[in-house]
Amino acid sequence: MGQRLFVPKELDASEPRVAASPDTVKRLSGLGFEVFIEKGAGTLSRILDSDFEKAGATIASAKDAAKADIILKLRRPTSSELSTYKKGAVVIATMDPYGNEAEVAAMAKAGVTGFAMEFMPRITRAQSMDVLSSQANLAGYRAVIDAAAEYDRALPMMMTAAGTVPAAKVFVMGAGVAGLQAIATARRLGAVVTATDVRAAAGEQVQSLGAKFIMTEALKDASGEGGYARELTDDEKKAQAELVADHIAKQDIVITTALIPGRPAPRLVTKDMVASMKAGSVIVDLAVERGGNVEGAVAGQVVTTANDVKIIGHINVPGRVAASASLLYAKNLYAFLETMVDKEKKELAIDMEDELVKATMLTHDGAVVHPNFKDAAAAASAAPAKADPQVAKAAGGTEPGLEVAPKKAPARKSAAKGTGTAKTTRRKAAPKADEPKSGGDL
């Protein structure tokens, strides 16, 4: 009998995505896993139970998670879910650990080996595993669609016998994966697009999509490690704000995409900037779940200001394109899991020296092992446990799959011991990785 792999239905009512697809079920079965899918797990992503069955999966109930050796999820397991997992189970999901150290400690206490997909290093080898890029790409697309739905005018220029309809002016703040897709989508719809980013190298990408790149002379370049942006100095922030304030007043649609790992989202658009915009203008804040880039944005709401500007603050934007997002996310998970499978024995064999494992492993063998969270998780575990936000309210938690740049995780000095479920081996360390590819937002 092969190792059991279980894909549950997400408990969060605001999460319509699923961590498997008929295609990945076939591939996982080919690796030697017995695949179990919870009944109705893919319904909101337009994947029926019968589709999974045809691909070789067994439709199961939530209680079958207790027998699983591997569990694939979208979001970090809740306390109620952890209580049903067996010790030593491998859980792969987007864990959203920053600010949730107590929940990370609870995973360690439950004895599961947890992998945070959002910490996948952005190297050539891991491109097919990059959940941040796959989900942010769709978020950028959906941001433009949502803006167009709220904007009560046409986006392209239209010349008719009755007169000319001017093209909408769209301003995208942040030229990472989400921002670049927003630019491309807005251009396809016929809008006149401008964009800004604190990294000079982003200018070429913006211009290649047919948009105009704007950047203050006072800010030469704020590129950081791995293609992400560094934090700006006070003078740079001031200069950038002045540039934005002057430009934003002339725009019809503004889309913001800036996030900083482990911190509240930077404030890019102030109340005064919003007040300077024309009536009927629209702003989409893709960072609203982290506090927002726009003053006045509210998570889960479309706010209309006194001067009739709409601020869109939808949560889980990739989930608003669930059918497409699930297919890409499922492929990301499969690509990562495949690297940890012994092809001859057809069983999971985690190489603790693999750079992908080092970067993404959060918990193992009863402990928090990721260097960024060891101390914080230990302190949090000593404090009273918080109520599970995903059970307390549907919109609780944050969407971690949107351009959150993972901090670089230094290699641990020693490898953790293996468990009875996932065979742990030591192999020769992988050769030096390729240079990181760009794609992070502000």
Q: List active site positions.
A: 122, 127, 130, 133, 228
Closest residue by Cα to residue 69 from 3, 142, 167, 135: 3
Torsion angle, alpha carbons of 422, 72, 325, 132, to 10: -50
Paired residues of 34 in beta bridges: 4
Q: Hey, what are 146's tokens?
A: 């949502």
Strands (E), 49-187: 58-60, 70-75, 90-94, 113-116, 158-160, 163-165, 169-173
Sign of CA dihedral 393, 19, 87, 101: negative
Residue indicated by tokens 């063998």? 365
> Collapsing DSSP states into helix, strand and coil, what is residue 114?
strand
- C-alpha distances in Å from residue 213, one per residue of 176, 191, 251: 13, 15, 14
> CA-to-CA distance for 41 and 336, rounded, in angstroms?
21
> CA-to-CA distance for 30 and 24, rounded, in angstroms?
10
First to last CA, the chain: 48
Torsion angle, alpha carbons of 433, 434, 438, 440, to 10: -10
